[in-house]
Chains A and B, each alone.
Chain A
Amino acid sequence: MSSNIDRRDILRGAGVGVVMAVLSGVEPGLAAPAGKEAAPGSANGATAGRAFSADQMITELVPGRLYRVGCVVKAERLSWLPQDLDGFEAVNSYVLTDKDNVVFFEMGLPIARPAMEQAVAKLVGNRRVYVDFTRNEADCIGNMGYVLGTCRNPTLLYGTAGGVLEWINDPHVSELEVRNFLGRVPIESAKNGETKKIGAMEFTWMDAGTKMMLMTQWAFEKSTGCLFTSESFGWRHIPTINSPVIVDTAASLPSAVTVAREMVARMNWMREAEYQPVIDRFVSIFKQYDVQMIAPVHGCVIKGREAVVAHVERAVEALKIASKLPDTERMQYA
């Protein structure tokens, strides 16, 4: 539950250390934040027997405009992988800024909360806050309650479906705030087909090119050329904790078969299915928009036109292979 302190007054202009001091230890049972910015390669948040995370940090993708906010987890026990990998996975949310505005695009998984706290402390300042997401699942909205409850006068950009407005699993946001949420936070439309300027940024929303959940969006931000692809394109993993979370080359792509197997680990409807119109539309999105960066909620960010083109081509190959893969659940009952 909230204390009587208005955290937004405390956080205004405060450094990370002050933020952590205010927030740490407030709610028993909540995983303790890192307490300080994680040094690259350091392991933190790893209490014995609990989920592991490391490198809770903000990574600049476009100077002064686009940041990746997140951490690294072990590539195991993840439903979007066909099997555990001997490596790690970047889990991501994104923040876009201009001098007057800040847009939290995907709020990420709860395990990346320390990174999100850093982002709020460092990137909000006096900016007007917007919040957006592609899909109402925990990997996209897990820290939404924290952002909405901490930032002053946020606006929700909303284009998918309900349910999201209640999953504010954040003990720092009082029940009263949650219950009255709909009366407190303005909601602006962000439906498929809409384009909206927010200061120097311009967002266009669309139905996801590939998806598992019915109500899933992608969004293209024009000033950065960044396409936010939700769970799609999440198939670039990292071998070590220290590995970069940005892929900016067309080299060393995983095979199309490997990518296909990962695609169907998440989008299992593709197996034994025919979906040429989906593939055609997928291709058309990249013809319509000058995509210079692909930003998924997990996996590496794909940066640069050359890298984007190569990954899209690999994805299209994989989509064709995926349709031929067997439906193992059906076969359980054959």
Chain B
Amino acid sequence: MPELPKDTIQKAYVVEGGLPRMVLPDLAWVGGCSSSAGWPGRGEVRPISHEPCVSFVILGSEKTLMLDTGHFGHWWSLDGQLDAVLQGRPLDYVFLSHQEIPHTGNMGRLLKKYPGCVAIGDTRDYHLFHPEVPLEQIRILKHGEKVSLGDRDIVMLDAVWKDLSGTMWAYDTRRKLIYTADGFGFVHTHEENLCGMMFHEMSDAQWKACSDRPALPFFGMRARDQKVRVAAFRKLMERYPIEIITSGHCGPIMGPPLKPTIEKLLATIEDPTKGPRFLMGDAGEKPGLFGGEAIHGLV
């Protein structure tokens, strides 16, 4: 086996583009990207795929909350990123979107770093992953239930599209921000140099290229009628108006690109024969541009 350089994890889980970023005074973007260049046998493959593995910290007037925990492989940087964005405040809540390593693999580390932090969401199973954590720190919340951060509530929402069965979304009532876990995730390449960049900061060409590559790792999607699910998402938007979309695999989507990005993705989901051939769903289906591993955010 060829000799591999040290700190290979840092080459596979990169932090570029100036993260962490304070997107708004009360919204921090933390994490990094999963880079295909860091994996055995992929070092010379071009283009180098980057799937963002990110999370967000909401700084409420009284309490703080992190949306997902970031990828386990990013902890080498995430630990310090959290210090930077919290500026001495404790982390009060961490919302766990689903029981998957890129999203919630740092739960144990976070609850150890912030002993008063409570994990919320559909938190079934986590007591088996982290038997050292008191059960009272792992709180199961259902659709419609919420926690207050002082100046806003964070509302739990059943996900319309689930990566794993326990997937939930979260909604910030003040910023009208929704966190969609694997929904609205997009892949870019290292060569495109888009790490840490939001859609409204990109050129039209950059936005188009990036939004042409949604990451939708939902097995079985094509077995179901997606029109009714798109209709359900539209109903969700009526009840919970959206001004910012965040996900575990993209920077915040806000401003002018918000609506076109939503419509483009919904069109793709509704009819997979149109738009990018990037949907992964059926056993044996050929992977998209970056391969099945990259799509799943686990390069």
Contacts and interface: CB of A to CB of B under 8 A. Distances in A.
B223 A273 contact: yes
Given A77-B140, A163-B71, A333-B236, A180 B6 contact: yes
Contacts of A91: 128
B100 interface: yes
A307 interface: no
Given A77-B140, A162-B299, A332-B158, A179 B220 contact: no
Interface string A69-88: 00001000111100000000
A213 B61 CA distance: 38
A180 to B, nearest CB: 6
A142 B129 contact: yes
B6 A179 contact: yes
B125 interface: yes
Interface in B1-55: 1, 3-10, 12-13, 34, 39-40
A269 B224 contact: yes
A311 B158 CA distance: 32
Given A215-B296, A266-B165, A269-B220, A167 B140 contact: no
Contacts of A162: 12, 34, 39, 293, 298-299
Contacts of A139: 125, 128
Interface in A296-334: 327-330, 332-334
Given A161-B298, A163-B298, A273-B223, A137 B99 contact: yes
Interface stretch (A6-14, A46-54, A121-129): A46-54
B101 A167 contact: yes
Contacts of B163: 213
Contacts of B164: 79, 137, 212-213
A179 B9 contact: yes
B128 A111 contact: yes
B286 interface: no
B124 interface: yes
Contacts of B128: 51, 73, 78, 91, 109-111, 138-139, 142
A267 B220 contact: yes
A317 to B, nearest CB: 18
B73 A79 contact: no
Contacts of A93: none
B162 to A, nearest CB: 6
Contacts, number: 196
Contacts of B298: 136, 161-164, 215
Contacts of A274: 223-224
Contacts of B221: 269
Nearest to A30: B132
A281 interface: yes
Contacts of A29: 112, 132
Nearest to B284: A207
B292 interface: yes
Contact of A179 (B8, B134, B219, B280): B8
Contacts of A78: 124-125, 128
A182 B33 CA distance: 18
Contact of A51 (B108, B127, B143, B166): B127
Contact of B293 (A215, A268, A275): A215
Nearest to A29: B132
Interface in A248-279: 265-275, 278
Would you list the 10 A-B pairs with minimal beta carbon distance, nearest first? A269-B220, A163-B298, A166-B73, A273-B223, A51-B127, A333-B235, A183-B4, A329-B158, A79-B124, A333-B232
Given A111-B129, A139-B125, A163-B296, 20 more contacts: A29-B112, A30-B132, A50-B134, A51-B127, A51-B128, A78-B128, A91-B128, A110-B128, A137-B100, A142-B128, A167-B72, A179-B7, A181-B8, A215-B296, A215-B298, A267-B220, A268-B165, A274-B224, A330-B228, A333-B239
30 contacts: A49-B136, A51-B131, A77-B127, A78-B124, A137-B99, A137-B164, A138-B129, A162-B298, A163-B72, A163-B73, A166-B13, A167-B105, A178-B9, A179-B7, A179-B8, A179-B9, A180-B7, A182-B4, A182-B40, A183-B8, A212-B165, A213-B163, A214-B296, A215-B296, A268-B165, A270-B220, A274-B224, A278-B223, A329-B162, A332-B143
